[in-house]
Amino acid sequence: MRRVRIKDEALEQRIYFQRSLLAVGIVTAIALLLAGRAAWLQVAQHQHYLELSQGNRARIEPLPPNRGVIYDRAGRVIAENTPAYQLEILREQAGDLEETLSRLVRFGLLEASDVGRVRQLVLARRSFEAVPFLLQLDDEEVARFAVHRHELPGVLLETRMARHYPYGSVGAHALGYVGTISEDDMQRVDRERYFGTGVIGKTGVERAYEDELLGVGGHREVLVNAEGRPVKLAEGTDPQLRTREPLAGKDLRMTIDIELQRIAEEAFAGRRGGVVAIDPASGDVLVFASLPSFDPNGFARGISRSDYLALTENPDQPLFNRVLRGTYPPGSTIKPLMALAGLEYEVIRPEDQVYCPGTYSLPGSRHRYREPRRGGTHGPVDMHRAVMKSCDVYFYRLANTLGIQRIHDSMARMGFGQPTGIDIAGERGGIMPSPAWKKTAFATREQQVWFPGETVIVGIGQGYWTATLLQLANATALLSTRGRHFRPRLVRALVDPETKQVEEKPAVALPPLELNQPANWEIIVDAMVAVTTGGTAARAARGAAYSIAGKTGTAQVFSVGQTEKYDEKEVSERLRDHALFVAFAPADSPKLAVAVLVENGGFGASAAAPIARAIFDAYLSPASPP
Amino acid sequence: MMYGELGASRTKRTVTGMARLLKALRLDGMLLSGLAGVSLFGLFVLYSAAGDNTALWFSQLARVGIGFTLMIVLAHVPDHFLRMLSPAAWAVGIVLLAIVAVAGDIGKGAQRWLDLGVIRFQPSEILKLAVPMMCAWYLHQRPLPPSLRDIAVVLLIVAVPVGLIAEQPDLGTALLVAAAGIIVLVLAGLSWRYVLGGAVVFGAAVPVIWHFMHDYQRQRVMTLLDPESDALGSGYHIIQSQIAIGSGGVFGKGWMNGSQAQLEFLPERSTDFIFAVIGEELGLLGLTALLAAYLFIVGRGIYMSLQCRDAFSRLLAGSIALTFFVYAFVNAGMVMGLLPVVGVPLPLVSYGGTSFVTLMAGFGILMSLHSSRKLVG
């Protein structure tokens, strides 16, 4: 028989009484322990701690680590540390912070519009931390400070290592920059690691590899008097002072070739746009240019509010990273990929002829999709000719036959609609449209319907489809290697500054794209070679010592009415089409895959292709005159 | 003598009048005076610790007002009502914690806050009371001492919220919530064999716990073992607070005169490290007075719990009183370098958070549980 336990109030009361009595005993014992500890600290150790707290404590002074140096792929220094004067505020010595700030403005060491920013900076740190607010002073500023030094208690002139970018604006969007640590930065980092360090990586590689570049701070104890000023005692009189040496951050080797980058940027000749060049065999990004660029030294110096506003309010948006965050309709540059999808799904054969009358209409619809600007017809075209001449009608029809879902699936496999995963933050993924995407992107049921006409224009890289230059370069690299695929990267190795030990980062291979018919690769590549030999980009490729496989494109900024004619001269410059060009070379053994965009550049062949040519020439035949 | 007699009777009338008032308010005079004493002491110390920041002091004053009001309100909630509400309070707390985990605000790197538009609060505070309530509610229905199955259920009641809170990460609060639940279990008569077994298991689990700790939590434990190893980082707090306490001596440097505190060498001096301010400015006398006051409150709480009429009331009242002491122990131990730095405020003294209000709510419940007995009595 199972024994059933019932509640026994008397027993429970007795247990509770015993237990609570014991608890009171334990509590009393602990209280005695705490009091004992207090007595030990305050009676037995009192003298020791009194000395520490009085007599002017050893103040702990940070020894900031040297930030890692950044090299380009050829070993040229592109970010280094140079000694420079900087001004710091030590709040516990400054007394009246407001008075100090207003004096700094009066002495011309701080712009009035920056007072709020510096106040926030100082208040965000502990009062015994020296907060740098003006970095890399010039000689005149140093002289001015020297004159007024006695009026500025708590403002210290220190020599510190400061970040310097010898190539200035070249490659700034890939390299990024460091700037003074803001309150927001403080929220996301371990503030102990930044004791004594005034700057932090804000964008690009400087930010993405912040952890590696930063290093570990050290500190030393200094004796200070009652006002907190450091005092010197005779050598060896105070053995308690200790020093911990800082540990420098790791050096980085980037994949960028800074000279090639410079050539690419100069080829833009002042126009806006971007270019990416990738080594298809590793995913190394050799050129990563977004133009116009900016001088990162301004940020490293502690940019003033007015200079910053000038950058952000510039209509050309120099701070906008067009390569990483600009999403543009890819235009005709994706026609080779569309053709490949048609072959793979076996909806078309290379030799199938399509007659191009200059316009295309969906069955049962009167809406006409036109060939742009030429107005003429291509006559009968097969796949080779359609790519070479960039025949829209051929691809309107092909898109309609494939249907949007199959287009989406094959383009997604080439990386469209998702970030490439490059090793710096902030990348956007663009849009690879599909009926499923439209359901999430629009609110009402009527807007969520996918129309056949929307499929047709996706066939020529327009409509909802947007892509980044990184995605285009990445897809071109994929095409060039016939399906082998690497994640694009900007950093190839870390170097320990002490031991010089190199930690190579292996290239990240992605699952290769396997075709049902491997022969299809060559059909597409041949057509792209034809683009540069007898097609739309023939002029830009003339005389090259190597073969180029490419494809031009234009992305519409401004939509043209059904019967209107697009006239480049009449449309204002900002509404002109974006010019695009993707290419790789040499066609049979690819060394470089490039995607170029010139904003409002007009036609891809005339505006964008010469930039790619300049890069190929410099990289593949360095002997040729620049 | 006329005046003497008049005076005596006046005093007598005042005293009985006070007693009647307290009874009408269903408050316990002894406990109330202990709480009021510590709270006033806290405001006194905070005035010095806050320095120029008088806004901070007034906002704490407001919290003290809210806390005592809430205590009086809760003292009027009948005990059976509290018991009935326990499972609901626990469940609501768990749901809110889950919401915080998914959608909470992140402050200082941890996800603890729930923003209701008008007010922001930490659901983990609710659990500080809801967990012991739920444990007591469950054990109340079971024959005691608890069977193995009952122990498992109670541990589950404790583990779910503790896990969620530790994940935020908020180690200090997780620890307090766990303590509140475990104390109920021990008071209910948990067999010493299990207590011992639990201790052994915990000892064995230390390496595992270590493995799952966040880096900063490991750092704090390491710092405890050797504060000098990181004098600038995590060790800074402990070194500075020990200098503050030690330099205070027996009589202290005087109110508003602690150089460590006033010159801002002591970090977080109005919140978690206010114990060091007391030690520096009011000396060993101040510290022992405070510890004695804490002991008095705990002792009175336990005494009241012994008079409660049923298991639920006893267990909950005992847990509230003892958890209060765990607060004090963890905070004082941390500031004096006996325990790792975990974010636990000094009860009724530290500025900030909802800690003061939650503690007073607990004492309101304790008074309710105690006075309910008398009505039946």
Contacts with A242 from chain B: Cβ below 8 Å: 231
Q: Which residue has the higher pLDDT, A434 or A377?
A: A434
Inter-chain touch B263–A28, beta carbons under 8 Å: no
From the CA of A45, how many Å to the nearest CA of chain B?
A: 6
Q: Single out the catalytic residue among A169, A290, A293, A332.
A: A332
CATH number of A262-620: 3.40.710.10
User: What is the 3 state secondary structure string of B211-238?
Assistant: HHCCHHHHHHHHHHHCHHHHCCCCHHHH
Closest CA in chain B for residue A52: B243
User: Among A146-150, A329-333, A592-596, where is mean pLDDT lowest?
Assistant: A146-150
Asked if residue A233 has pLDDT above 60, the reply is no
Going by C-beta distance under 8 Å and a sequence separation of 6 or more, which residues neighbour residue A342?
A: A348, A383, A398, A401, A402
User: If pLDDT is split at 50, 70 and 90, which confidence band does A196 have?
Assistant: confident
From the CA of A218, how many Å to the nearest CA of chain B?
A: 9
User: If pLDDT is split at 50, 70 and 90, which confidence band does B376 have?
Assistant: very low
Instruction: For residues B200 and A140, give the distance between their C-alpha atoms in angstroms, rounded to a whole number.
Output: 70
**pLDDT value at position A56?**
47
Tokens of residue B96, six digits: 């809110």
Contacts with A217 from chain B: Cβ below 8 Å: 232
CATH of A59-233, one of 3.90.1310.10, 2.40.70.10, 3.40.1360.10, 3.10.580.10: 3.90.1310.10
Going by C-beta distance under 8 Å and a sequence separation of 6 or more, which residues neighbour residue A613?
A: A540, A541, A544, A548
User: If pLDDT is split at 50, 70 and 90, which confidence band does B101 have?
Assistant: confident
Instruction: Residue B67: name the closest of B352, B297, B357, B364 by CA.
Output: B357
**pLDDT value at position B156?**
94
**pLDDT value at position A237?**
46
Mean pLDDT throughout A584-601? 93
Is B200 exposed, middle or buried, given 0-12, 13-18 or 19+ CB atoms closer than 10 A? Answer: exposed
Could you tell me if B376 lies within 8 Å of chain A, comparing CB atoms? Answer: no
pLDDT, tens digit, for every residue of B142-196? Answer: 888 898 899 999 999 999 999 998 887 777 888 899 999 999 999 999 888 888 8
Mutate to test the interface with A, among B113, B242, B243 (most CBs of A within 10 A): B243
Question: What are the structural domain ranges in chain A?
Answer: 59-233, 262-620
Asked if residue B6 has pLDDT above 70, the reply is no
Mutate to test the interface with B, among A34, A40, A56, A122 (most CBs of B within 10 A): A34
User: Among A329-338, B80-89, B332-341, B362-371, where is mean pLDDT lowest?
Assistant: B332-341
Per the document, the length of chain B is 377
pLDDT, tens digit, for every residue of B233-254? Answer: 556 778 888 888 998 999 988 8
Average pLDDT, whole number, for chain A? 86
User: If pLDDT is split at 50, 70 and 90, which confidence band does A198 have?
Assistant: confident
ipTM of the complex: 0.90
Asked if residue B108 has pLDDT above 50, the reply is no
From the CA of B126, how many Å to the nearest CA of chain A?
A: 25
Clarify whether A332 is annotated catalytic: yes
Residues 73-92 of A with CB under 8 A from B: 92
3-state secondary structure of B59: helix
Inter-chain touch B144–A12, beta carbons under 8 Å: yes
Closest CA in chain B for residue A7: B143
Inter-chain touch B189–A12, beta carbons under 8 Å: yes
Asked if residue A28 has pLDDT above 60, the reply is yes
Specify the DSSP element, H or E, that contains A88.
strand A77-90
Going by C-beta distance under 8 Å and a sequence separation of 6 or more, which residues neighbour residue A33?
A: none
Closest CA in chain B for residue A125: B267
User: Among A466-470, B267-271, B317-321, where is mean pLDDT lowest?
Assistant: B267-271
Inter-chain touch B243–A49, beta carbons under 8 Å: yes
Q: Residues A68, A251: contact at Cβ < 8 Å?
A: yes
Q: Where are the alpha helices (DSSP H) in A301-382?
A: 305-313, 322-325, 335-344
User: Among A33-47, A299-313, B250-264, where is mean pLDDT lowest?
Assistant: B250-264
Asked if residue A112 has pLDDT above 90, the reply is no
Question: Cα angle at A488 between A541 and A527, to 5 degrees?
Answer: 35
Mutate to test the interface with B, among A33, A42, A49, A243 (most CBs of B within 10 A): A42
Give the number of beta-carbon pairs within 8 Å between A and B: 146
Q: How many helices (H) and strands (E) does chain B have?
A: 14, 3
Percent of chain B exceeding pLDDT 70 equals 85
Q: Which residue has the higher pLDDT, A58 or B78?
A: B78
Could you tell me if A563 lies within 8 Å of chain B, comparing CB atoms? Answer: no
Specify the DSSP element, H or E, that contains B302.
helix B274-306
Percent of chain B exceeding pLDDT 90 equals 46
User: If pLDDT is split at 50, 70 and 90, which confidence band does A153 have?
Assistant: confident
Mean pLDDT throughout A243-249? 86
3-state secondary structure of B350: coil
Nearest to A49 among B147, B189, B247 (CB): B247
